């Protein structure tokens, strides 16, 4: 998997937002970060599934 995958990008940006929210006490920002991380994980799993299906 390439390091430039959008799933990884979403996970990293989401983690930054989550930490920023925790540090500043901004619960909305923290939740946005967690949601973006989940989005990144979903993108990665979808890509893995697509790759597996193409291999067969």
pLDDT tens string 23-47: 999 999 999 999 999 999 999 999 9
Is residue 44 a contact partner of residue 7, using CB atoms and an 8 Å limit?
yes
Question: How many Cβ atoms from other residues are within 10 Å of residue 19's Cβ?
Answer: 13
SS3 content of the chain, % helix, strand, coil (to 5): 85, 0, 15
| Percentage above 70 pLDDT, the chain | 93
Question: How many Cβ atoms from other residues are within 10 Å of residue 31's Cβ?
Answer: 13
For residue 29, give both structure tokens.
């920002």
Q: Which sequence spans correspond to the domains of the chain? A: 6-55
For residue 37, give both structure tokens.
């991380």
pTM (two decimals): 0.83
pLDDT in tens, 13-26: 999 999 999 999 99
| Residue 55 confidence (pLDDT) | 84
Res. 4: pLDDT tops 60: no
């Amino acid at each position: 998997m390439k390091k430039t995958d959008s799933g990884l990008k979403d996970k990293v940006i989401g983690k930054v937002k989550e930490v920023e929210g925790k540090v500043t006490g901004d619960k909305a920002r923290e939740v946005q970060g967690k949601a973006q991380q989940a989005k990144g994980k979903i993108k990665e799993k979808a890509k893995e599934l697509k790759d597996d299906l193409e291999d067969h």
